Amino acid sequence: MARVTPLHRDDPDKEPLAGNVRVTKQDWLNVALDTLITDGIEQVKVLALADRMSVSRSSFYWYFKSRQDLLDALLDHWLATNTKAIITAAEKDARTVTEAVCNIFIGFVDPNQFSTTLDFAIRDWARRSGKVRRVIDTSDAQRLAAITQVFERFGYPSDESLIRAKVLYYMQIGYNDADLQEPMDARQSQVGHYIHAFTGQHASEAELTAFRAAIGAFAP
């Protein structure tokens, strides 16, 4: 009954002694999160998580009241990370629209700020849970409002700003949904076209190279 390394342990200080079969509440959460992302919410099953950590299933009920209790914790985690990341990216100071749009792009792409895979695992989950749907709708509205304000800040009229925010935001959602396989390079080299579609303006070559450099850091 050897203990395997947990998948996403963030605090190495809490690592239990070797040979110890005990796990922390955070371990359960990390494995649950990983399973949610790769296999979907309905695969987050107590037995499956326990097996993955080589621990007894009944141990779970020491940390969580029920499976639902764990799922609530996962949703809370998402709320505290992803939505906050986009809003922060949108509010970041910028001297031109292009720069601001690039900031948002980077916010979506930088894995330190935003987890794309988690985002659409949650979005997925929302389709079978009205409660999650409501949480996500609020979150989408907040993100959209933040992006809309970017355009307004640069002088776009109010109604046009909303449309541009939607084109940008929904395009990101759709991209994540349908086109994750495509290598980042393709998008990079065409980034001028994207920016023109989003802002209605042509970006300067300096802005484009700055963006390519910034985004290049996250290429696979």
182: left (phi over 0), alpha (psi -120 to 50) or beta: beta
When CB distances are held under 5 to 8 angstroms depending on the partner's kind, the choice from a second copy, DNA, none that residue 48 binds is DNA
Asked if 59 touches DNA (CB under 7 A), the answer is yes
Write the single-letter amino acid at 196: H
CA pair distance 212, 12, nearest whole angstrom: 34
Q: Taking the CA atoms of 34, 37, 38 and 43 in sequence, report the sign of the dihedral they define.
A: positive
Selected binder of a second copy within 15, 51, 69, 177 (CB under 8 A) = 177
Asked if 197 touches a second copy (CB under 8 A), the answer is yes
Q: Residue 23 Cβ, how far from DNA at the closest point, in Å?
A: 4
Tell me which residues in 19-78 interact with a second copy (CB under 8 A): 39-40, 42-43
Asked if 146 touches a second copy (CB under 8 A), the answer is no
Cβ proximity to a second copy: between 61 and 170 the closer is 170
Asked if 29 touches DNA (CB under 7 A), the answer is no
Tell me which residues in 115-134 interact with a second copy (CB under 8 A): 120-121, 123-124, 127-128
Asked if 66 touches DNA (CB under 7 A), the answer is yes
When CB distances are held under 5 to 8 angstroms depending on the partner's kind, the choice from a second copy, DNA, none that residue 190 binds is a second copy
Please state, in angstroms and as integers, the Cα–Cα distance from residue 206 to each residue in 15, 191, 209, 211, following that order.
Answer: 47, 13, 5, 9
Asked if 9 touches DNA (CB under 7 A), the answer is no
Is residue 104 within 8 Å of 150, Cβ to Cβ? yes
CA pair distance 117, 82, nearest whole angstrom: 11
The residues that touch a second copy, with contacts defined as CB under 8 A, are 39-40, 42-43, 120-121, 123-124, 127-128, 137, 140, 159-160, 162-164, 166-167, 169-175, 177-179, 181, 190, 193-194, 196-198, 200
The residues that touch DNA, with contacts defined as CB under 7 A, are 1, 17, 20-23, 45-48, 50, 55-59, 61-63, 66-68
